[in-house]
Amino acid sequence: MSQNLHFNRPPKRAQTQSGNTTPISAPSTPLRTPNECPSVQNSPGTPLAFAPGHRRYRSGYEVQPKATPYKPYALNNPGTPTQGAFNLSKETSLEAINALDPWQYTELAVKAKLLPPDCAVHSFQVETSNIVLMRRTDTVVIAPTGYGKSLTWTLPLLACREGIFLVITPSTSLGQEGELLSQTDDISSLFIYGEQNSQQDFEAAASGEMMVLYVCPEMLESPSFARLLHSKSWRGHILAIYLDEAHLVHQTHSWRPSYSRIYQLRNILGNNIPLICLSATCPPLLHPDYKLINLGNFRPELSTMIVYMKHEIRSFNDIAFILPLGCLCHESPGFYFFARRIRRDTDTS
């Protein structure tokens, strides 16, 4: 895949979960259709994310930018103790294997209790899994949320009976959820993050022979994880690299620079390991050297709305029409918010 992955799409739309909920008061003005809402590209001014000296916020509070204290993806850094890469006693080089039929994948998924007995795998899951088995090419998969994209890394692992899948996930909550959902009688899973990165955890990741390994981009480029990446024997066990929520490569590069450096994995792992990009919302990438599996991202049950902020960011008053004061968690539907501070032409500061 190319270093510059270009995504050109509007902000991710709010997702409403089904279930019994207490009605929430509607906004004072009617919701506009997507065609009536101004896009980010058409909004006046320049996004503050690209302006020098702009403020950054996390959980509603301003945070100061921190310089990376190490060289990303480097095994050793100046001024730090020298460390060596993990050396596995068993070295291997995974070879391509023949594609499986849909019924074979369904049988494997049902046996591993990943699917109920009366269900079958989707055709895109079969196609993606076979691309991985045959180690054929990089792939972009666009499929709706909840359509089973995570099975594209468990199905080929069940078929191979060996190997490691490296899944790059954007958040701790998704990594923890994936660690639980990927665990079967035959497959082990591990999420390496700030609260689970001991020597024992890395040794478990290094010795895994049939494993799904989850990691966030920041941990992926750390010196601790470099002990795995720079291990020739460990690299030989990697079947594929999965980039979950792949649209974030473009959307978050201004405030999560680790996403803009993921391409450096190729310098370490080489070009023979397939890279699978997964997303529910991104359009096709502007690069020809990949396989595109596009199930579409039209979501008629979702709507997009852009609202300029009028209140102090820590007050959260700008979203009070969705989450009224005093509203309990179980009384409200689920939403996904994408927030970006945009400077208007009328700003004087």
What are the angstrom distances between the C-alpha of 294 and each of 54, 87, 183, 196, 278? 37, 40, 28, 35, 10
How open is the CA angle 214-195-198, to the nearest 5 degrees? 85
pLDDT of residue 65: 62
Domain boundaries, the chain: 102-294
**Residue 272 identity:** N
pLDDT of residue 184: 86
The answer to whether domain 102-294 has CATH 3.40.50.300 is yes
pLDDT of residue 317: 80
**Residue 242 identity:** Y
pLDDT of residue 281: 80
pLDDT of residue 51: 46
pLDDT of residue 227: 93
User: Strand, coil or helix: what is 218?
Assistant: helix
Q: Which of 239, 238, 92 is nearest to 156 (CA)?
A: 239
Rounded to an integer, what distance in angstroms lies between the CA atom of residue 73 and that of residue 79? 16
Crossing angle of helices 123-133 and 151-160, rounded to 10°: 50
- Binned average pLDDT, 10 residues per bin, the chain of 349 residues: 40 41 38 38 39 59 70 85 80 84 95 92 96 91 88 93 93 91 89 91 86 94 93 90 90 81 91 91 67 82 75 78 66 55 39
Output the six-digit token pair for 6. Answer: 């270009």
